[in-house]
Amino acid sequence: MAEFLSQFQNFGLRSAIDIIVVAVVFYQFYMLIKRTRAVQLVKGVMVLLAVSLLARYFQLRTISWLLDKLLQMFVVAIPVVFQPELRKALEQLGRGSFFTRHPLTPGVDNLEQVVEELVRCTQVLSKTRIGALIVLERKTGVQDFVETGIKIDGMVSSEFLVNIFIPNTPLHDGAVIIRQDRVAAAGCFLPLSVNPNIQKDLGTRHRAALGLTEITDSLAIVVSEETGAISVGIDGTLTRFVDDKMLRELLLRELEIKSTSFSFSSFWR
C-alpha cells in the first residue's frame, strides 16, 4: 500500500499527458472499428485476458499455460486479422484526420416508424416487381460493407427507398444498409453465400442476403424482381413468401422494439 501511495505521489503533469494520449489513441481506434466485425474479435480477446487473469489468481496452471499460448498466437494473428482497420488508421493518420471528433449516435426512438416505412416500401416494390435488398444492422457492425457503397446518412422513408431501387438508376443493383433509424449507404456489395444446398431458383440478391447473414447477425429483406415475393434472411436462413403482417411482426420481434425507447449503442451489445 505504501509503495502504491509513493507512486501516486510522484504522479505529475508528464504522467497525466502520457495517460491522456494513450486514452485518446485507444478511443480513436475503438471508434474506427466500432461498426465493423473486428469489435467482436476484440471482445473475444478481452474475455481470454480476463479468464487468463482468473486462472493465474486461482493457480490453474494447465489453463494458464493454454491461455498464454493462445495469447502469444494472437500477437502474431492480430496484425493479419486487423489489417483493414490498421491500414485505414494509418491512412487517416497520414491525412491528419485520425484525431477527430466522432458524431453522436443518432436516436432510435422512432424504430417502430422505421419498421412501418420498411413494410410500406416492400409492399410497393413487391406489387411493381422491383428487385431490392435491404440490410438492417444489429449487434455486429457491417461498416466494411458500408464502405463498398455510396454513403447517404438519410432518414428512412418508403418513398426514398423505392426511388433507390428504381431500375436503371445508379444504386438499384446494390444493397441498402440501414443503421438504427438512418440509411447508412446504398449500392453496397455483399458476400454471396457458398452454401451448396441453396435452392437453384434463388438469384444473386437472395444469395447475398444469405451470405451476409451467415457471417453477421444482420437482418436482410429481399424483394424478388421476377415474382415480387418478399423474403427475410436471418442467421443464414431464408424465410420466403412473407406478407406485410408477417414482415411487421418479424421485424418488431427481431429488433426487440419495446414500448419504451432503448439504445443499440452499448459496447457489449
**How high is the pLDDT of residue 62?**
87
Q: How far is CA 58 from CA 53, 54, 64, in A?
A: 9, 6, 10
Picking from 129, 140, 133, 139, the residue whose alpha carbon sits closest to that of residue 118 is 133
Task: Quote the DSSP letter at residue 110.
Answer: T
By mean pLDDT, which of 84-93, 102-111, 178-187 is the weakest? Answer: 102-111
What are the tens digits of pLDDT across the range 205-215? 999 999 999 98
Q: At residue 158, does pLDDT exceed 60?
A: yes
Specify the higher pLDDT residue, 258 or 58: 58
Picking from 235, 232, 231, 205, the residue whose alpha carbon sits closest to that of residue 217 is 235
**How high is the pLDDT of residue 200?**
82
**How high is the pLDDT of residue 92?**
60
Go through the domains of the chain in sequence order and give each one's CATH number.
2-95 (no CATH), 111-254 (3.40.1700.10)
Kindly report the CA angle at 146 between 141 and 151, in degrees rounded to 5?
130
What's the pTM? 0.65
Task: Average the pLDDT over 116-131 and give the result.
Answer: 95
- Pairing relation of β-strands 132-136 and 150-155? unpaired
Task: Average the pLDDT over 162-177 and give the result.
Answer: 92
Q: At residue 262, does pLDDT exceed 50?
A: no
Task: Quote the DSSP letter at residue 257.
Answer: -
Q: At residue 179, does pLDDT exceed 70?
A: yes
What are the tens digits of pLDDT across the range 16-47? 888 888 888 777 767 666 666 666 677 777 88
Backbone angles phi, psi at 166, to 5 degrees: -60, 130
**How high is the pLDDT of residue 23?**
83
**How high is the pLDDT of residue 266?**
36
By mean pLDDT, which of 97-101, 155-159, 234-238, 264-268 is the weakest? Answer: 264-268
